Chain A
């Protein structure tokens, strides 16, 4: 018995130190040294250093003046009752998905309700086929991207809310569209946070131009 347990115990400790401690710490060391931006979460900062988000993590955009991301199914603990959860879109401290199946009535009703809400804020969408990512929740609830088609559908609303020319905003979407990797892998997409940051830049620029002209 001892002849079996002793080497078993020793090999456990040896591989534990090697694979559970040395390996992850070595990767951390090299990662922080060679690729500090990515290793710390691809954070975007204001000039004063305040973190405004991560390029890779979506945010919950509210109001007609921003490009919106996909619906998110993430939740958070209910502040009034710790045993319950409440909807908390883009909660990057607790990723989650709807996990609603293809024959779920809750899903069917949500899709119809979201479609009606979208038509209420943008009447021109009525009767149109919508891109698939616009009404479906993502796997992570933190999807940073939307399809170029969904971004384009939002251009008239965003341009009107900000008093910008629609073709200018459309050009912004084009500039922020990323194609498939190596032409084959993945799908074309637009990073919503980066799109909204460049939108904010454009709004500032056009305002200061407007002031100068006045």
Chain B
């Protein structure tokens, strides 16, 4: 097992404003607690159901949404491979969830510029996980439960519990953007 040499911040869900304010683009973060898996079709369904007066199947306050559709769970495992999908496709749905209190999303890759504005306005975070390290990331998932839309298969709404799930802050609540930093080798790790 890999030995971690860098400095990592440990945070827990649900995320409060204090945690959000500490985080800066480039921070290495170990996430703990409940996380909700949702990708394209899940987002569409959640919003359609909400608009027809159905409550969300989870409490959005401080929630973290992970853009991921895991592979099927083999016997004896907690979950199948669970890497991030490309976040940009979910940009159009982001504001809806931020309005309801969602504090952070996890995915991969850069996003539309408007996302940075939204995260500044609503005080939110965009994390990235390592794309294509999907088997490795199963090690940090301790439990899972299908919350809604099982008929969507890999796109069902799933609650997972994570322990020290490795992430990087890509966009912070101040407009900071990991992908646009010219030199990130000397970035400061904020402690506290």
Is this pair of chains taken from one and the same complex?
Answer: no
